[in-house]
Amino acid sequence: MPFEVFIIAIVAISVGAGAVITIVKSVLGYLDRREERRLGVGRAGGVTTSELKGLLREAVEEATAPLVERLEALERQRPAAGLPGHDPHRLPEPQTPADTAAPPPA
């Protein structure tokens, strides 16, 4: 008889602990959903991938606009300064160490 009482006690404790855990989890889930609705985030408040890409594209364009304007102004000034060989689509030739070396002492 004591063994059956022990088994019943273990089952009762397990069921009680399971009920407490379920109640606590439900309450925490409700509080999280309520907070998400209050803040406007969560499943319904997110942005789509295309919206995020658009936002990033706008931010990059806005951040680089002054640099692009400055680069275009420099490109316009270069031919006006009379520098030969201006081709905005051609990269300059790499310099060799002989080109940049100081002349030998006399």
Q: Which DSSP symbol is given to 101?
A: S
Checking if the pLDDT of 21 tops 60, the result is yes
> Looking at residue 43, what is its pLDDT?
56
Q: 100 with 92: CB under 8 angstroms?
A: no
Q: How many CB atoms are closer than 10 A to CB 36?
A: 14
**Helix, strand or coil for residue 18?**
helix
Q: How many CB atoms are closer than 10 A to CB 74?
A: 9
Average pLDDT over residues 91-104: 63
The tens digit of pLDDT for each residue in 28-72 reads: 999 998 888 887 665 555 678 888 999 999 999 999 999 999 998
Higher pLDDT, 75 or 104: 75
